[in-house]
Structures are given as C-alpha cells and as structure tokens.
Amino acid sequence: MGETVKIVDDCLAPFGKIKLFYKGKNPLATLESVDELFKPYFRISTSRYNLELFNWDISGKTYEFFEKWWMKKELSGYTMMELRYNFQGIEDSETHEGSANIEITAHLYNDFPQNWMARGFWWLYQYLFYDKVRRQYIQKCRELTEGFREILKAKFGLVTTPSKLPEQYEFAAEEDD
C-alpha cells in the first residue's frame, strides 16, 4: 500500500477526555460487564474491541486494579473512530467498599491514499466537500462517546465531573456583562 494522508481529530476537544468516578460496593465487579456494552451500543463485531491491559493486586487488605480497553468503529472507507477506556480502582477485601476512576478518550482517524494524481486534487476536494463531512464525523464521534458515558452512568450510578470552561473563557464572558 502506498503513502497516505493521515488526519487525527480529538472528538472531545477542547477537554480531550471524559472522567467518571464510582464510589460504593464492589467496584471490581462493575468492570466485568463493561465489555458487554461495546458490541450492542456501537454496533460492532467482537473483533473491533479488546481488553488491552488488565493489572490487579489482591495480596493486601485492599484490591487494586487497572483495566484498559480500546474500541474501533469504521464510519466510512477512510474514517475510523477509536475510543479508549481506562478503569482504575481500589476495593477493600473485607467490606468490598471501594472507588474507581474511569477515563474515556475518543479520536477520529482519517486515512486517504496519496499518489501523484490525488495530491493535486486533495486541497480542492477537502475545501469543497470533505471539511463539512469531517466535521459531521467529529460530531457523531462526540455524540456516540457522550451516549456511552450516559449508559455507564445509568448502569453503575456514576457521577460525572462538572464541565468547566478554562479560565480564559470565563474572563471573556465576565467582561461582556
């Protein structure tokens, strides 16, 4: 395969990630059913998501664990959405009380073939057509990721961090008043 033009977009810009916090009974048990959510919600086959890493330590009074997942969904022949899901927590071995942090990131990957003919038409194509389509894919990626967050919140009773604009935007809003 020849060279390609690669464009990577962050679907959750400007913040870049969604953070969720769980505190309660059996946080270790909550991560056992997360893989069941990927396939029906994103409408993907089992080969399109995977547990990348699972670490745990059950040697002491508390159980510590870390889990890392990825999910890939094709949106077109040239565009793919990738969601990364990290789950880290601690659980008391006697009371089974604990807490967990969940972090979700989502990116859009665009790969276009690049050859002598395509190089000349790329800028015109991007200006007239693809820029609008790419923005629609970014919005779809964001909506899917936020929908997944809502499913996690409903399933596990999670609380999200409040969205907060960076200080520079808050000052600009105050000056207009």
**pLDDT tens digit at each of 177 positions of the chain:** 467 778 899 999 888 999 888 888 888 777 667 778 888 888 888 889 888 998 988 888 999 999 999 999 999 888 999 999 999 999 998 998 999 888 999 999 988 777 666 666 766 777 778 788 889 999 999 999 988 888 888 777 776 555 444 444 333 334 444
* Nearest alpha-carbon partner for 41 in 148, 136, 137, 141: 148
Residue 100: C-alpha distances to residues 19, 65, 91, 93 (Å): 11, 9, 9, 15
Q: Tell me the two tokens of residue 41.
A: 């919600």
What is the model's pTM? Answer: 0.79
